[in-house]
Amino acid sequence: MRLVHLADLHLGFRQYHRLTPDGINQREADVALAFQRAVDRVIELRPDVVLIAGDVFHSVRPMNAAIIDAFVELQRLRGALPDAPVIMIAGNHDRPRATETGCILKLFSRIGVHVVADGPERLGFPALGLSVLAVPDLPLGVDLPPLTRDPDARHNVLLMHLEVEGAIPPRLAGVERAAVPVSRSAIDPPSWAYVALGHYHVHHEVAPNAYYAGSLEYASPNVWGEVIEERATGVPGKGFIEYDLDAKVHRFHPIEGVHRLVDLPAIAARGMSPAELDTAIRERVTGYPGGIDDRIVRIVVRDVPRHVVRELDQRMLREYKRRALHFHLDARKPDGLRPGMPVGGVSGRRLTLKEMVEGYLARRPLDADLDRAALVSLGVEYLAEADAASEQMWGPAGGDVGLGGAE
């Protein structure tokens, strides 16, 4: 028997300020298309069961377009695979904190999707010899219930949205409010036929039969951290999992994104003049195979003083921003911290103001109806506007270039 395991769809996610010809945020359209492509592939595979491990939406109260995208694709999936149960749990982005706020995922029960949002629930499918213990995101402070199996089922599957202790690398942990953390021993993967996990956006093996599927698109506040982690671990980007419960065989199905993320080679700029740094940036951009047009691009420049950034070729940088979907010149000042200054990362470098704002807003407790990603984006946008106003009055101050995106 084969299952398909998807997670962290984040429909409705918005980033940058580029719009499609129809007036939709381009990244929101990219996320919706990734889900459509995943459904196409799932229908081709014709599995016996489909598991969706939470964070279907990016917000507790998604916009109508995101709800329609989800409804259309799930209805198409149910129509094409009428005998395959589709089981969906709520993630931390789906579950409202206020009890009086209903969970939008329950809408999909109307088209035959098994939705588990309010608490752990066991779902039995005797015709398949299958039992699924579905555990949605739980409120902070609520203990994980005993993870028991159905002794009469041939296959016991555990479906959860949470953080497995030690599974998420420190550079990616704490980006958002963590789901309920749990130890590997509490899950006990060998006692299950399969453990389907959601919350961590990078495809990751917790045990030979326990996986984070990863997200279908880059839809978190730290997409470059995900890129670095995928590169370090050999993960082939975003996608979903197919798992054969009888043969115990795992297969990852990549889903190609519309706009490729390009992390250009970093530049060590210590001692460079503005003209030399302009040349180095230009060489990185022009040397990238296929160019930067319509892509999401970052280039890190280390050890660059403010006065050098101030004198860079702004016309060149504006042209790169025009060509790319998003172009970010991440200019980092030289080390040399004063006592008490905030630091970040393994290098101990001083955090930029943008990083401090993003970090604070990513950790700050929010009401259930507030979209954290939108709040972070708005905070960075206000910071960029303040920086632009300061430049008009005092001239460029250096630091991060292009905080407002590629518009």
Return the domain boundaries, the chain: 2-254, 261-394
Q: Which residues contact 248 (CB under 8 A, 6 or more apart)?
A: 208, 209
**Structure-token pair, residue 130:** 């299958």
Q: Which residues contact 384 (CB under 8 A, 6 or more apart)?
A: 403, 404
What mean pLDDT value characterizes the chain? 86
Residue 380's pLDDT band (cuts 50, 70, 90): confident
pLDDT on residue 254:
97
The 8-class DSSP code of residue 287 comes to: T
CA nearest 279: which of 321, 306, 307, 308? 308
pLDDT in tens, 105-146: 999 999 999 999 989 999 999 999 999 999 999 877 778 888
**pLDDT over 60 (residue 341):** no
**pLDDT over 80 (residue 64):** yes
**Structure-token pair, residue 118:** 């309010």
CATH code of 2-254, in short, is 3.60.21.10
Q: b/e for 357-386, b at 16 or more Cβ within 10 A?
A: bbbebbeeeeeeeebbbeebbebbeebbee
CA distance 407 to 405: 6
**Structure-token pair, residue 128:** 């398949």
pLDDT in tens, 271-319: 999 999 999 999 999 999 999 999 999 999 999 999 999 999 999 999 9
**Structure-token pair, residue 342:** 């905030």
Residue 390's pLDDT band (cuts 50, 70, 90): very low
Q: Rounded to the nearest 10 degrees, what angle do helices 372-394 and 353-363 cross at? A: 160
Residue 394: helix, strand or coil by DSSP? helix
CA distance 285 to 62: 37
Q: Pairing between strand 349-350 and 343-344?
A: antiparallel
Which residue stretches of 150-193 are H helix?
184-187
